[in-house]
Structure 1
Amino acid sequence: MFADDEARILTEAATRDGVLDPELLDSLVRRRERGEPPEHIVGGVEFAGLRLSVGPGVFIPRRRSAFLAGLAVEAVETRAPRAVLVEAFCGVAPIAAVVAARLGTSAARLVAVDHRAEALTHARINLPADALVMRAVVPDGLSTVLDDAGVLGSVDVLAAVAPYVPTASRALLPAEAVDHEPADSHDGGQDGLDAVRGLLAGARRWGAPGGVVLCECHRGQAPAAQAFAADLGFGCRVHHSDDGQTAVVEVLVPR
């Protein structure tokens, strides 16, 4: 985010009924000077044309994940009406929110799963009232909550921005991410793919025949994820974003 964008965001947050509150603006600027992300300060983030609720201590959706959101919309649209979409590692549920906004609430039954209560508070704000927002450790506890929701084995689209930063690389992230976002929202293990492999390994348990699993990763990790999926007997393809960095691994659940 550029400095002029930050200034605009903070100024807008300090304006009430068209009047700028200088004291409030000063307090917001001081928080930013201490390294707090502007999205946490103002309680919101722009994502794929939506304004999503976020707050201190939660992972902030990245613009690059709009690519995954678009693929999820396409996958749900081909399986609508009332496809089952699960967003795993949902955080504030940006992917499910985009699907609901673009296709309407009748297109899919939305289930968002994460283990952090503070993130799920924002997910409930960002999603329609009939969405299921459930707390569980992913992927280990995913089968249990999907069974509780009555969708185990009938998930048409499972989409996830799982943590995929290699452990040794987390220190290279911007300081505001390291200091103000949960470590486990970044850390994907030695090669960054531990969580992605966990999701792919469970695809047959969770997915409906002909369903898909969509996992974001770095394009350099995609070949390893694709090879893992092939070893499990899945058909798999990789979508590459125009940003030159982001990839989405798509795995098809056999019919």
Structure 2
Amino acid sequence: MRPDELVPALRAAGCVFAEEEAELLLREAPDEATLDAMIARRVAGEPLEQVVGFAEFLGLRIAVAPGVFVPRLRTTLLARKARDRLQPGDVAVDLCCGTGAIGAFLRYATPEAEVHATDLDPAAVACARRNLPPERVHEGDLYDALPDSLRGRIAVIAANAPYVPTDAIALMPPEARDHEHRVALDGGSDGLDIGRRVFAEAPAWLVPGGSVLLETSRAQGGVAGAYAAAAGLAVTITTADDVDGTVVIGTLTPRS
């Protein structure tokens, strides 16, 4: 396909930012055959980030793989709030890590921190090991994947757990619905099946004064906050309209 044909083809496929996407595809394709293959994948609806193999996240280039959850702009709020609570020498965990974008940002922002990541999806674990030290990325179900030596030592847990209600997945854009593994999307009937567990199990892993941060939708924030409070955590809910982000923060207050 000629460069002058690329933008119309992308626009016809429904790509809102066709000019920007065309520029990126032209820059990343090493030859014409690869470009044609990339265009075909994108026109067929595959996420741009999976086509080019990376996503931009808070200034970092994060490796992305087919089927793995693509980092969203809204998740930058979660990453920044986690960074604000992290000090040199602290332990942090990127829970339900997907590509490991949050963990990679925390390592970049606080190099002296010890950052771990977990995910249940083997494809996500393999991808995250390209963005983080492989030995720090653990495969398994939430906290069960973590080394027991971290129990009671973690200062920051950042969790972008699945929070789309099961019945709402069919309403998601095809890019997500058809090209990201369902395990990264499905949060159960109310979208908070995983979030409830994140909060309930967090106190056993947090250091006193440590925080667990969970991304949710704005509508879910109050309910998620109630789950955090039920786990004995002090609750803060923060939102950012510019990125459409909502984060529920539960802090383990030190005993007096």
Q: What is the CA-CA distance between 1:191 and the residue it aligns to?
A: 1.0
Aligned partners of 1:30, 1:203: CA distance in 2, in Å?
44
* SS of 1:202 mapped into structure 2: helix
Aligned partners of 2:191, 2:126: CA distance in 1, in Å?
27
Greater Cα shift, 185-194 or 114-123: 114-123
Aligned partners of 1:231, 1:121: CA distance in 2, in Å?
34
Gaps of 5+ in 2: 1-15
Letter in 2 for 1:126: N
Report what 2:64 is aligned to.
54
* SS of 2:82 mapped into structure 1: helix
Report what 2:122 is aligned to.
117
Cα distance, 1:123–1:25 mapped onto 2, change above 3 Å: same
Q: What is the CA-CA distance between 1:55 and the residue it aligns to?
A: 1.1
Report what 2:24 is aligned to.
9
CA contact (8 A) 1:57 1:180 kept: yes
Aligned partners of 1:245, 1:168: CA distance in 2, in Å?
22
Report what 2:228 is aligned to.
229
CA contact (8 A) 1:109 1:131 kept: no
- Cα deviations by residue, 1:146-184 (Å, 9 ceiling, x for unpaired): 31xx21111110001000011111111111111110111
Q: What is the CA-CA distance between 1:22 and the residue it aligns to?
A: 2.2
Report what 1:31 is aligned to.
41
Report what 2:9 is aligned to.
none
* SS of 1:63 mapped into structure 2: coil
State how many pairs are aligned: 239
- Cα deviations by residue, 1:196-232 (Å, 9 ceiling, x for unpaired): 1100001111111111000000111001111222233
Residues 1-255 of structure 1 aligned to structure 2 (within 5 Å): 2-15=17-30, 21-76=31-86, 80-104=87-111, 106=112, 108-127=113-132, 129=133, 132-138=136-142, 142-143=143-144, 145-147=146-148, 150-243=149-242, 245-255=244-254
Aligned partners of 1:89, 1:132: CA distance in 2, in Å?
14
Cα distance, 1:53–1:70 mapped onto 2, change above 3 Å: same
Letter in 2 for 1:62: R
CA contact (8 A) 2:99 2:131 kept: yes
> Over the residues paired in the alignment, what is the CA RMSD in angstroms?
1.5
Q: What is the CA-CA distance between 1:133 and the residue it aligns to?
A: 0.8
Aligned partners of 1:75, 1:228: CA distance in 2, in Å?
21
Aligned partners of 2:120, 2:126: CA distance in 1, in Å?
11
Given the two structures, how large is their TM-score scaled by the length of structure 1?
Answer: 0.89
Cα distance, 1:10–1:136 mapped onto 2, change above 3 Å: same
Aligned partners of 1:81, 1:101: CA distance in 2, in Å?
12
Q: What is the CA-CA distance between 1:244 and the residue it aligns to?
A: 6.9
Aligned partners of 2:235, 2:135: CA distance in 1, in Å?
29
Letter in 1 for 2:91: V
CA contact (8 A) 1:212 1:251 kept: yes
* SS of 1:180 mapped into structure 2: coil
Q: What is the CA-CA distance between 1:56 and the residue it aligns to?
A: 0.7
Gaps of 5+ in 1: 16-20
Q: Percent identity?
A: 40
CA contact (8 A) 1:210 1:253 kept: yes
- Cα deviations by residue, 1:125-149 (Å, 9 ceiling, x for unpaired): 212x3861111112xxx145231xx
Report what 2:8 is aligned to.
none
Q: What is the CA-CA distance between 1:8 and the residue it aligns to?
A: 1.5
CA contact (8 A) 1:92 1:122 kept: yes
